[in-house]
Amino acid sequence: DMQRVAIGRALVRRPKAMLMDEPIGALDAKLREEMRAEIKRLHIKQGSTTIYVTHDQIEAMSLADRIVIMHEGVLQQVGSPSEVYAHPANLFVAQFVGSPVMNVANAAVTMNGSGARVTVDGAAEGFLFPAELVGQLDAASVEQDRLALGIRPEGVMVSREPADGYLPVEAHIIEPLGSYDIVDLKVGAQMLRARTRSGFVGKPGVQVFAKLDPAQAHFFDTTSGNSLGVRL
């Protein structure tokens, strides 16, 4: 209530611009959710330009028209919430924005017949990708030992039965989150997290099958951390 009063006092003057520095960071989760909605409603009603400082990426994504992401005082990326989520400029942004965080794994890319294969570190087999991936990576002039694959959990597709393009993997940990589960899949030496419907996998330790959506894949230079700008 004190936070609501303080924000209300600031807004009642109808300022042209406001600076909010972690205004709801000390509240519990339920109150933060309520206050995010209230701040959004008041911002739309007032139309004031607001600079909102937060370390909570959920606050930033839900409230902002444009996000400025900084790390150790250095600007990383500026864009709309959808831009920084779908096209992160580097590894820091990729793993800061989004919950659960983006999967990142060292990977090698090879041609295989009419397509490309992306093999994560320690895996015996590679995921099938369009052949154009090889050309885009060649144009980026990145060495194989500096290549990292990034993909969000919703880009990791899971099947209980063998299917075309799916690789056998082990379900390692299952986190039930109500309407969906987050499942850790052991792929070679890596763990890739997938988002599945609730109860889809069943129990830890079972074998399932996984496939990556090329349209949701990102590739990074591990030395600079920068995105290679691959679009499939």
CA distances from 61 to 81, 174, 179, 193, 210 (A): 5, 26, 21, 21, 29
Q: What is the pLDDT of residue 112?
A: 84
Q: Please report, for the domain that includes residue 53, its CATH number.
A: 3.40.50.300
Q: What integer pLDDT is reported at residue 178 of this predicted model?
A: 94
Domain boundary among 40, 65, 90: 65
Domain boundary among 65, 88, 120: 65
From residue 41, how far is each of 22, 63, 108, 214 by CA, in Å? 18, 10, 47, 37
The residue from 47, 65, 83 where one domain ends is 65
In the predicted model, is pLDDT for residue 29 greater than 90?
no
DSSP designation for 115: E
pLDDT of res. 1: 63
Do residue 160 and residue 206 come from a single domain? yes
**Do 109 and 215 sit in the same domain of this protein?**
yes
The pLDDT of residue 149 is 97
Give the model's pLDDT for residue 17: 87
pLDDT tens digits, one per residue of 167-186: 999 999 999 999 999 999 99
Of 8-17, 83-92, 143-152, 220-229, give the lowest mean pLDDT range. Answer: 8-17
pLDDT score of 67 more than 90: yes
Same domain? For 216 and 122 the reply is yes
What is the domain range of residue 59?
A: 2-65
Number of domains in the chain: 2
Query: What percent of the chain has a predicted confidence (pLDDT) above 70?
Result: 98
Q: Does residue 169 contact residue 187 with C-beta atoms inside 8 Å?
A: yes
pLDDT at 189 > cutoff 80: yes
Q: For residue 96, give the DSSP letter.
A: H
Given this model, what pLDDT does residue 114 score?
83
pLDDT tier at 148 (50, 70, 90 boundaries)? Answer: very high
Higher confidence at residue 25 or residue 214?
214
Degrees, nearest 5: CA angle 101-79-89 = 55
What pLDDT does 208 receive? 97
For 86-114, how does the pLDDT look when each residue is reduced to its tens digit (9 = 90+)?
999 999 999 999 999 999 999 999 998 88
Judge whether 147 lies within some domain. yes
More confident residue, 189 or 151: 151
Query: 129 and 56 in one domain?
Result: no
User: Is residue 78, in this structure, part of any structural domain at all?
Assistant: no
Within this chain, do residues 119 and 171 fall inside the same structural domain, yes or no? yes
Within 8 A by CB and 6+ apart from 202, the residues are 160, 171
Pull the structure tokens for residue 115: 């397509």
Residues 207 and 156 in one domain: yes
Closest-CA residue to 197 (of 177, 217, 219)? 177
Question: How far, in Å, CA of 215 to CA of 6, rounded?
Answer: 45
